[in-house]
A and B are shown apart, each in its own frame.
Chain A
Amino acid sequence: MSLLQVDDIHVYYDKIHALKGISVHVEEGEIVTLVGGNGAGKSTTLRAISGLLHPRDGAIRFEGKALGGLGAHDIAALGIRHVPEGRRVFGRLTIAENLDMGAFTRRDRRVAKDDREQMLALFPRLRERYRQLAGTLSGGEQQMLATARALMGKPRLLLMDEPSMGLAPMMVEQVFETMGRIKAEGVTILLVEQNAPMALGVADRGYVLESGQIVLEGAGRDLLGDERVQRAYLG
């Protein structure tokens, strides 16, 4: 059984048919990436998985359980965390409070405290600015916070939407390096990126999206070498 199974979903924005039958599966322990140009439907796919949007057709299963009809907060409680496009940290909350909100659904307070220590060890910049408002952080620091906040929920599956967007090259390197470490901790990742070379480099498998449909899929490295991908996305 796949950890996540997306079966032929169709999502509409009013009359706009944004996803025209997307099927994706993610196995435990993998990094899987969705790549594609702007407007291909990558974010829409993640938003459908995390319950922010509801597919008109098709099904999404997490650990075999159908997610249809569940609200976003229910799905989060099941162990899926979505780091949205643009990071969306709570700018008027402190870094500490942002992390607390990440652990909102957890009852094991003491363990959550250890996890917070672990997060601060993973992202030392956050420790330095622990009591400051998240709105004062740089883009790279906000990405760290958004990731740490999501991990505070102890997710089985992490959905990441363009974590490298708008970051300086050195920060981009760091984002991808962190992803490797998160995977090593046993968290499965579904990564959306426009930066196809980086994403396909780190991923086990990948899907290429175009206008709401999957046009190619395969192992990360194979896609990276694929002539069509190179022509379309890697220039």
Chain B
Amino acid sequence: MSGAQLARSQPRISVGRVSPVDIVLWSLRILVLFVVFAGTIGAIVKDRYTAAQWFDFVMFGLTIGAIYAQIALGYTMVYGVLRLINFAHGDIVMCGAFAGYFVASPLDRSGFLTDHPVIGMAAILAVAVATSTGIALLTERIAYRPFRRVAGSGPLIAAIGVSFFLEQTFRGMFGSSVKSYPAPAWQRSTFEVWGFNVPRIDVLVIGLAIVFMAGLYLIVQRTKMGTAMRAVAEDAEAAALMGIDVNKVVVFTFVLGGAMAGIAGVFYAFVYKQVYFFMGFTPGIKAFGAAVLGGIGSIPGAMIGGVFLGLVESVGPSLFLDGLGIPAPYQLRDLIAFTLLIMVLIFRPNGIFGERMAKQRA
């Protein structure tokens, strides 16, 4: 054995010598724990926010978390079946949002969305789902399938290329300006429960997200194609020996992920009331992190990871940043989200819920 291999096989953390890397990592952990604990105590002592405000934070966290969860499902399923990080998935979300916008805008102007909210909503979602699914399928067929048997980073680079391609195509076709997504009055209204103001749109997004995710879960767990998908994720070769056409299962996976992305895109546009060509990037990265957080490849993990991330970034600023006296903490919620993701990638790359599965994979 050569010297380099010997060095690598030694345990990294030894008692006698602590490497600079360890010091940095430990400082990071302590810093984050300090921020969370000291900030939380500070927030409790200061008592700056009312119960209604906390309720708003949680409600928003659940809403955005439900959206992250739906996006994360696409990452986790594609990774499970192909071991590919579909870097373009966030842009598939953007495609869905744009498609929804192009339906919602005229419907809103004509008043149809106000008079027939259910039909209008169904039409928006249907077009968004069809668009996202279609583009996801084209992506798979044109950009990913040719790289299927290529080892190394070829597939990932293809995915990054698709991401740029979609962003620049939408920018080219529809301009780089931010378009405001129409929100008829009922979407902006609230109703009262036990003295709290509940935004209707939040309830709609959370409720529908639960329905769609439950549907997806049933499809994956109960149907023949869903079972085949789990079989291929575990051992594609053994699945092929059963007569399962792996290509069809891959297509099925992209259909499910694309549909979820289309719905999530519309919901994301509901919440932020705007669409633009680069809008998929941030939720895409965050949802990927949520999938890793939940243990990539795990479907329940993606759902839980998404909701958890949404709650942390929504409640976190007021809970532990404001408590430390940091001004304008709400500006920093992306910082919280990305810190959480980096922490997970450094300390628990197999995810918080996905450990068992990651071990089986290895």
Contacts and interface: CB of A to CB of B under 8 A. Distances in A.
Contacts of A149: 242
Interface residues of A, number: 26
B237 A72 contact: yes
Name which of B239, B240, B243, B245 has the most chain A CB atoms within 10 A of its CB.
B243
B245 A135 contact: no
Interface stretch (B89-97, B173-181, B228-236): B228-236
Given A84-B237, A92-B357, A76 B243 contact: yes
Residue of B227, B231, B238, B360 with most chain A CB atoms under a 10 A cut-off: B238
Given A73-B246, A135-B360, A90 B238 contact: yes
Interface of B: 224, 227-228, 230-231, 234-235, 237-246, 357, 360
B234 A102 contact: no
Nearest to A89: B238
A102 B244 CA distance: 9
Interface stretch (A93-101, A165-173, A180-188, A216-224): A93-101
Contact of A91 (B227, B228, B360): B360
Interface of A: 50-52, 71-73, 76-77, 81-82, 84, 88-93, 97, 100-102, 104-105, 135, 149, 153
12 contacts: A52-B241, A72-B241, A76-B241, A77-B243, A84-B238, A88-B235, A90-B234, A97-B230, A100-B227, A101-B227, A101-B231, A104-B243
Nearest to B239: A101
Given A71-B245, A73-B245, A102-B242, 4 more contacts: A52-B237, A72-B240, A73-B246, A93-B234
A91 B230 CA distance: 10
Nearest to B241: A82
B122 to A, nearest CB: 33
Given A97-B227, A100-B224, A101-B228, A92 B234 contact: yes
B170 to A, nearest CB: 36
Contacts of A82: 241
For the complex of A and B, the 7 pairs showing the least CB-CB separation, nearest first, are A105-B243, A76-B243, A72-B240, A88-B238, A73-B245, A77-B243, A82-B241
B360 A104 contact: no
B360 A92 contact: yes
A84 B240 CA distance: 11
A52 B228 contact: no
A101 B226 CA distance: 11
B227 A153 contact: no
Main secondary structure of the interface of B (DSSP, over half): helix
A68 B104 CA distance: 53
A91 B234 contact: yes
A90 B235 contact: yes
A100 B242 CA distance: 10
B230 A93 contact: yes
Contacts of A81: 241-242
B357 A104 contact: no
A104 B177 CA distance: 50
B129 to A, nearest CB: 27
Contact of A92 (B230, B243, B245): B230
A97 B227 CA distance: 7
Contacts of A72: 237, 240-241
Q: Give the one of B224, B246, B357, B360 with max A CB within 10 A.
A: B224
B235 A76 contact: no
A185 to B, nearest CB: 19
Given A88-B235, A101-B227, A73 B357 contact: no
Contacts of A90: 230-231, 234-235, 238-239
Given A92-B357, A100-B224, A104-B224, A76 B237 contact: no
A148 B360 CA distance: 23
Contacts of B238: 84, 88-90
A99 to B, nearest CB: 10
A101 B244 CA distance: 8
Nearest to A103: B242
B288 to A, nearest CB: 22
A222 B335 CA distance: 76
A153 B245 CA distance: 15
Contacts of B231: 90, 93, 97, 101
A73 B227 contact: no
A88 B234 CA distance: 10
